[in-house]
Structure 1
């Protein structure tokens, strides 16, 4: 068996692995990249990219039905579901060359398309070759979590890995799971002409601020999406389409079933024990520097067990590159990592929610809300649902949630504020173009100072002196 000696071996060609490999090789390190499946990982092929392409098509269809408030007669769109999936495939194909094997080999990375297995703390076998490296990065991502429900595995259920190639429009799509994936795909399919029922064993969007989540869920219900909570499935029957039988005796039937009950990190066959790498069902056990229990092995992205976001994996990649390639100290943090549910309206969060802040800081928490209804651009566009909700402790921003149009874009300001320690006064003092949705953030920040300016007896006395005494 041939042996390759290299500086860095990256296992997994998703967002995190590709970022590490590209950065390291362009800085002069020798890099081997191992990927058993598709280059680009879940985000390009089964996640972020195809879902947002589908959501864009659904938004275009929905716009044709909602013009009456602007004096435009609504029409029922004719949806060619197969052509919509062609659009999704084109978007993937357009982006794919950036993540391709050809591109990375052109950068100087040695790419091996095979399964990787550790056989020693510093050796991996893949594709009939042994790779001995100074440092390793585990960037293997995650896969759909399939619950052990009786009967589920007996039929052709869908996951995010199989729903996007589906070219036949589901007549009635059942979605098991009311998290971001389930909610996004529920609304998209409803707008594309499907009947949709979402079932969740607890509450839909249960990890989000309830006040903000309710705005999204109300919007979906108004569009005709059925959302069933506290729906614990006892068994699945495939005899006539698909039927979910609940523990409380209720049952829900449909033509197709999408399982969107979260994602699981798996290290099957990787030989982590041989590498002295500790792990659990959440991911590799890492320290603040993203090092595993084997100091020469790092983990990034989903594999690191700190969150399942493409942008988090990219951030992790920078932390690892500074250490493994440049020899500089670096530590990862999580308080400034935003997340977005790309429904319409969007829901975005960074830092602590109100409930998390009150649990951590008690009575010292102050909430600063500002509604889109009071924003002139939102009024002009007829998109007044939602609000910005700032979470502060003694005047310091510790979290921000936004539900409303373009929330995913607007949350960037608060991610910067948390990562860089920007004060509320700086945001309140910004000069922004008028009219823009971004003014909701400025107004929310300014709400912290309004009582100090307008309800301050001492300040009123100063103003009286200036106006009546001073020349």
Structure 2
């Protein structure tokens, strides 16, 4: 390792959402910023994750809507899928967004962009093949990569991950999806709607992190779509074909397909950084940080997937804002207090923020109230012919919001209101006083909040008060 030495105020490793946000903010504040990126600008989200997957889902949804438009009196005829055009749409979406994350744009902002892998040389110095960068503050924003489980035989057959699946030129005839989390469910449903046979295999429960009632709404739709669901099946080996061999209490089952997609989760991309040289502690989840996102090395911060606090692009962006405030301005921040929503972009979407009902009861015992509103009671859902789903509001007995789960059409859009409620500490009365346009699904959140007050509002005590007030009036 040799070459030019650079002194910088901020050095950032990784040009994904978090790293780019830190670099842009610091550069526009007049600081000297160096940004290392060994792969594609824009990181996983733009190139292999959020953007291509949602573009694929949009195509799959269009095919599904066309097939089922007859329920609304619209007959589209036979629906055919041109997979080449679908993938062209996917890559066009990436190309359209890419200039915003491009090297050229960041160089115009004044950032020195080095397209090489970096590693720590000491506690405040990074090195690559051509440069040595000594910085006042260093930000680790390396993101994560697809986790590949140590299943015997997996290394002997071709398999897909989210980093390769969007390079397919032909739709799989039969896709085996190993992993029943959000990535596996989203891609599995999309490929099924695009014409592939799909089986999703999960060692535990499919969408097991989510509220069981909400998850079941999604699972019912997957089954209706023709996706084969195999939960509680542990993968024990992979054979040529590919063939996935799984087992449960009844014995072994062989699942054969044309393609195997491994979607068992993600791991932080930290192994090549030589963190120990810089005195930076980590665990299996990522860099160990305090609430200000600072590592055990006081000059080094971590954001996004690398910080081990959740693997969401929007969380990485929020982390970037905190780090700019803390590392540059010295302001107090608290990453532990962030109310981070999550969405599984299946159809229907499943969105949540805060505590689930089970988590709330574990933390608060009997001091928990739960309100549920079925989307069949929403006029817009009825008008659209899509009443699938529900909302669940979890509060303390006194009405403090602990968490919300929504499952239904556009649930990911509507969870934002509840993220605001949690982050700003809003009261339920402020939601009930909001005027929601009619008819929209936005009314669902107001109905959830209103239901919380229903028992008290129409209680015998309230009726007695009204009776007295009537006589006085």
- TM-score computed with the length of structure 1 as normaliser: 0.98
Deviation at 1:335, TM superposition (A): 4.9
Distance in 1, matches of 2:272 and 2:255, equals 38
Residue 344 of structure 2 is aligned with which of 341, 344, 347?
Answer: 341
Q: Deviations over 1:342-382 (max 9, x none)?
A: 00000000000000000000001100111100000000001
In the alignment, which residue of structure 1 is the partner of 2:305? Answer: 302
Greater mean deviation of Cα atoms: 241-250 or 149-158: 241-250
Deviation at 1:327, TM superposition (A): 2.2
Deviation at 1:94, TM superposition (A): 0.3
In the alignment, which residue of structure 2 is the partner of 1:395? Answer: 399
In the alignment, which residue of structure 1 is the partner of 2:57? Answer: 55
Deviation at 1:334, TM superposition (A): 4.8
Distance in 2, matches of 1:16 and 1:324, equals 14
In the alignment, which residue of structure 2 is the partner of 1:37? Answer: 39
RMSD across aligned C-alpha pairs, in angstroms? Answer: 1.0
In the alignment, which residue of structure 2 is the partner of 1:173? Answer: 175
In the alignment, which residue of structure 2 is the partner of 1:372? Answer: 375
In the alignment, which residue of structure 2 is the partner of 1:132? Answer: 134
Q: Deviations over 1:71-108 (max 9, x none)?
A: 12253311010110000000000000000000000000
Deviation at 1:464, TM superposition (A): 2.0
| SS of alignment partner, residue 245 of structure 1 | strand
Residue 237 of structure 1 is aligned with which of 233, 236, 239?
Answer: 239
Distance in 2, matches of 1:470 and 1:326, equals 60
Say if 2:431 is the partner of 1:421: no
**Residues 22-421 of structure 1 mapped to structure 2, 5 A cutoff:** 22-238=24-240, 241-247=241-247, 248-393=251-396, 394-421=398-425
Distance in 1, matches of 2:73 and 2:124, equals 68
**Residues 411-450 of structure 1 mapped to structure 2, 5 A cutoff:** 411-450=415-454
Deviation at 1:270, TM superposition (A): 1.1
Distance in 2, matches of 1:360 and 1:305, equals 22
Distance in 2, matches of 1:188 and 1:434, equals 31
Distance in 2, matches of 1:5 and 1:444, equals 55
Distance in 2, matches of 1:242 and 1:372, equals 41
Deviation at 1:458, TM superposition (A): 2.6
- TM-score computed with the length of structure 2 as normaliser: 0.97
| SS of alignment partner, residue 65 of structure 1 | helix
| SS of alignment partner, residue 67 of structure 1 | helix
Distance in 2, matches of 1:413 and 1:331, equals 21
Say if 2:459 is the partner of 1:460: no
Question: How many residue pairs are counted as aligned between the two chains?
Answer: 467
- On the 8 A contact 1:335/1:351 being kept in 2, the answer is no
Q: Deviations over 1:172-218 (max 9, x none)?
A: 00000000000000110011011000000111001111110000011
| SS of alignment partner, residue 13 of structure 1 | coil
Deviation at 1:438, TM superposition (A): 0.8
| SS of alignment partner, residue 333 of structure 1 | helix
Distance in 1, matches of 2:418 and 2:188, equals 28
Greater mean deviation of Cα atoms: 217-226 or 263-272: 263-272
